[in-house]
Structure formats: C-alpha cells, structure tokens
Structure 1
Amino acid sequence: MTTKISNSNVTAQINHVGAELFSIKNKENKEFMWEGNPKFWGKHSPVLFPIVGTLKNNSYSYNGIDYQLARHGFARDMVFEVVQKNKNSVIFSLNSSEETRKTYPFEFELQIIYTLIENSLMVEYKVFNKGNTIMPFSIGAHPAFALDGNFEKYSLEFEKEENLEYFLLENDLIANKKKQLELKNKKINLNYQLFENDALIFKTLESNSITILENLKPFLKVTFEDFPSLGLWTKIDASFICIEPWFGYSDTNEHFGNLFEKEGIQVLSENDIFNSKFSIEIL
C-alpha cells in the first residue's frame, strides 16, 4: 500500500513498507527521487533504525546476551500503520513486537511524520521508549535524489565553509582512516571517484544544510539542523546522490559489541521521547 499527500506546490508518495518516501514531484510533475533501479540500488529513502550502518559481525551484546542485527536495522523492511492523515500530512507508526524483540529487546514506538509546507517536505522522527529501562538506538535518513544526465554536471553546496573530514569504510565498518574533502566556495563537484570506497562518513560537520546544483543552478536543498552526523553516497554509474542525516553510524573496527558503548549511539530514558526532523525543499 502507498499513501499520497499534496499541496499546491508538491506531491509526495510514501510506501507503507518502511514508511519509505519514494516520490516527490513539483507542480510541473518533475520527479526528484531516485527511481529505485535494482541494478544499482532498489530503495528510495529508507529509514535506518534501530541502528545506522553495520555492526561488527552484525551483532551486539546486551545483558550478557548476543543479538544479531542486520545492516541499518529492521524498520525499513517492516509494514508501518497509518495513524493519522490529512491532505498534506501523514503519520506512520511502527511498534515493537515479538518479531522485533528477537533482534532488539526493547519496547518502542517509531513514528515517521511527513508534512508538506509550501515547497518543502518535512520529515520528522519520533522514538518513544515504552519500556522500563533505558534504550540505546540510532536513527537516520537515506534519501536518494535523482540526477539526470551526466553525473559530473552536479555539485553540492554546503551551508558553511568548513574543513570537512570524512572516514573511510572497510568491510562496511569505519576504519581508523580519514581524508579531507576540500571545498571551493563551499562546493564540491560530484564525480564517481569520490565514492570508489563506498560512502563518505562525516561524524561531525558545521553545516546544517546541503544544496544540490545542476550546472551551478540550485534545485534541491536538504536541511538537517538536528542531526550531528552525515553520509554521502552513490553507486558507481548510478544517477542519484544520497544525502543522509544521521544520529549514529557504523561500528568502528575497534568496537567490542556493547551497544551502550557504540560511537554515536543515542540513549533514551524510560517513558521518554526522542524527536528530530529534516526537510527537503524544491528550489
């Protein structure tokens, strides 16, 4: 099943599996989301929960028990319930269950709220700790934006001039290796060589937004004021770029499995609520 929301400027469509955004169109019917061609990557904008990235050995320990949890967690593959909808907004909900407790033994509700405001789509995450113990988790976005034609005619403009440091991945884990990404007038020109070693992982950065430009003309802006970390990613020869605001990231090679000691992990008190949001604006 899918749900559509719209206003006079934008139409968005969301799949109930993963509450995954798969289409954003302007009033001229131009599509801004990646088509999901499985030859390269068969998704569009999965939510990453209750982990972001990969755990070492795809496992972690909690209260002396080892649990298996696959890359990016399980929420992206589960069916969400629509709990509220009107013309320009919708709230999706996923609750803990016998199935989720097999890999993540915590009581939670995850809400994903989509709201259209003028030319923007606001995406809000709410995580409710419904258990009687503290709850460790990560959450992140993974939207893929369509880039038609020559990949190298596109560039990314960061909100601020900054000295960008990104970490390299080895076997999907963050290695103790990092590089500098040089900005020129706050911009980087896209090319596939940047992604030969998979995603670029920024544990921290100063900018709160990134704008995608085609031949130096801005056409889409992602704003992520709440999020401390970010990933940039594409597949070689694919016509998309992912701009991924995160709370958390993959394990490091040195991590030893305790989820509470994982870099970037969030810890939610019992009966507490975590809230964050980002926006996608058509320029």
Structure 2
Amino acid sequence: MTTLENDLLRVSIRPKGAELTSIYHKPSGIQHLWQADPSIWGWHAPNLFPVVGGCLNNQLLIDGKTYPIERHGFARQSIFETTESTTTHAIFSLRSSDVTRVHFPYEFEFQIIYELIESRLTVTYRIVNDDEKTLFFSVGAHPAFAVPFHVNETYDDYFIEFEQPESLETHMLSSGGYFTGETKAIPTQGLQLPLTEHLFDQDALVFKDLKSRSVTLRSDKHDRSVTVNYQDFPYLGLWAKPGAPFVCIEPWLGCADSEGQPKPIQQKEAIQQIEIGKVFEASFSITVR
C-alpha cells in the first residue's frame, strides 16, 4: 500500500489496479471514499482500461480478430508496479505482457499518476504507445464516495451540484449494460440533482453532452463537500447500487457498446487513439472542502 499525506488529506493506493482505497480528510476526520463492503460492491475507485463499460459478447474486434475482454477492462484486476513515490506524489505502471496481449494486442505502458496538493488530489492517466501501429483504447475512472459523511445524516440529505445549469438527459442502458439508443430526461432542482434511494434503479446515469466540467457532492446539512473536476473527460457517469451508501462520480473517455452488431475497435463510440511513439495524457481531480 502506498500512502500520500499532507496536513489536510491522507490518501492510500493499493498495487492491484493502482486503486485508491482511502481519501481521509484529517481536519474533519471524514473518510470520503467508499470502503468496499464486498456484500454490496467490493471496489473503492477502479481505474478503467482499455475499455469503459461492457463490450458486446465480452469481446474486442481488432484487425479482424476477436479478443476476450471483461467489463471495464483488465487494468482494475492487474498488479501495477510503483515506479515513483514521495509523500505527496506516486506513479504506478502497467506494461503490456503475455497476459494483456490475450485481451488487447498492443504494446503499451499505462501509468497512473497521483499528486496531492493541499486539499486536491489530481489523477493523471498517461498511456504510451510502444507498438508499431496506432493504439486504440478507452480509459476512465470509477471513484465511489461515501454518503452520508456523518452518521446523523441520510442519503437524501445529499445532492450532486453541477457547475453550470444543465438539461440532464441520460442515455439508457439495457439489462446487459449496453446503450439502447433511448434517452430519458432527469429532473434537477436548479443546479442540483438530489440523491435518492431510487435514482439508480435503472442502472447508471450517463451524460454525454454536459456543459459543466465539474460536479460537487454536497449536503443540505453542512458545508463539507467533494468536487470532481473532469476537464479532459467528455462523458460523465453517476452510479450507485440502489440503496447503497455511496455514489460513484465517473469521468470517462469512452463508453459501453450499443446494442446491435460489434464494431471494430476504431469505430467504437468515443474511442481514443495514440499514434506510434506518442503519449496520451488526461487528468481529473478530487477536491475535499
């Protein structure tokens, strides 16, 4: 386990998946990350690579061949090497191997960089194309924040506050986790989307055209908050197990497949690409107040 710490935050990251396991706010004594109760949802903040969401038939179609791939990809199950670590900065690395090539036939290095500055944790995804062809991929984050912050509160005391006014429209998912092509309006109260027990009864809310580049998790009862800034990520997912005491705020560069016929990887919605010898970077941040 790697720990980053300053006067305000103590952050822990485990080698499996280079996954955050703790965001502890020292002045208030609040643990802001969901603590992965396996009877409800056994993750804290998985990193999603080389796909986001589910692929039709659990397969990727690359250069005319099919490759087995699990939902959200293999990075979250992989052991990362810690290549740099100080009290406020750490870099984790996953390199292509015989194991990854079974699922994803590219030569790459996937780095996850954590940087702690005051009350803000910045997470950077850096992907290096070590192959002799263009590399196609998706990448995203899936942090789960504990709700409520205090024992004397309820889930319904909390809301997601958008940076700008939004006419929210979620893209509907089938029971298999694929887009159906249907959308549904999600009512707000001004800038606020109230959290309720049944908000996620039909799976995640997936937004593809938000004006806001940040959202904040707040309560009606106090001024404590958690803000996720996702400047580099065009898609945003919100999700929780119905009735569970957390909410996931998920910046994505990529998304699940739509129902129908599988498409080659380069034709997948929101797919990213890196040319030979190039490097891709995208960052998001989590700020605790």
TM value normalised by structure 2 = 0.95
Residue 237 of structure 2 corresponds to residue 238 of structure 1: no
User: In structure 2, what residue type is equivalent to 1:104?
Assistant: F
2:225 aligned to which of 216, 219, 241:
219
8 A Cα contact 1:255 1:262, kept in partner:
no
User: In structure 1, what residue type is equivalent to 2:244?
Assistant: A
Deviations 1:67-115 (A, max 9, x none): 1101000000110001111111100000000000001000110110111
% identity of equivalent residues:
40
8 A Cα contact 1:161 1:183, kept in partner:
no
8 A Cα contact 2:198 2:243, kept in partner:
no
Q: How many equivalent residue pairs?
A: 282
Match of 1:164 in 2: 168
Match of 1:54 in 2: 54
Residue 257 of structure 1 deviates from its aligned partner by 3.0
8 A Cα contact 2:63 2:264, kept in partner:
no
Deviations 1:105-146 (A, max 9, x none): 001101101111111111111011110100110000000000
Aligned alpha-carbon RMSD (Å): 1.1
2:158 aligned to which of 145, 154, 158:
154
8 A Cα contact 1:211 1:218, kept in partner:
no
Residue 279 of structure 2 corresponds to residue 273 of structure 1: yes
The answer for unaligned runs of 5 or more in structure 2 is none
Match of 2:144 in 1: 144
TM value normalised by structure 1 = 0.97
| SS of aligned partner of 2:47 | coil
Residue 20 of structure 2 corresponds to residue 15 of structure 1: no
Residue 173 of structure 2 corresponds to residue 174 of structure 1: no
Runs of 4+ aligned residues of structure 1 deviating over 4 Å after TM superposition are none
User: In structure 1, what residue type is equivalent to 2:184?
Assistant: K
Deviations 1:152-177 (A, max 9, x none): 11101000001121111101101111
Match of 2:101 in 1: 101
| SS of aligned partner of 1:99 | helix
For 1:229 and 1:8, how far apart are their aligned partners in 2? Answer: 33
Deviations 1:218-245 (A, max 9, x none): 5111111110001000001210000000
For 1:259 and 1:64, how far apart are their aligned partners in 2? Answer: 10
For 2:85 and 2:207, how far apart are their aligned partners in 1? Answer: 35
Match of 1:184 in 2: 189
Equivalences for residues 108-147 of structure 1 within 5 A = 108-147=108-147
For 1:213 and 1:61, how far apart are their aligned partners in 2? Answer: 41
| SS of aligned partner of 2:225 | strand
User: In structure 1, what residue type is equivalent to 2:3?
Assistant: K
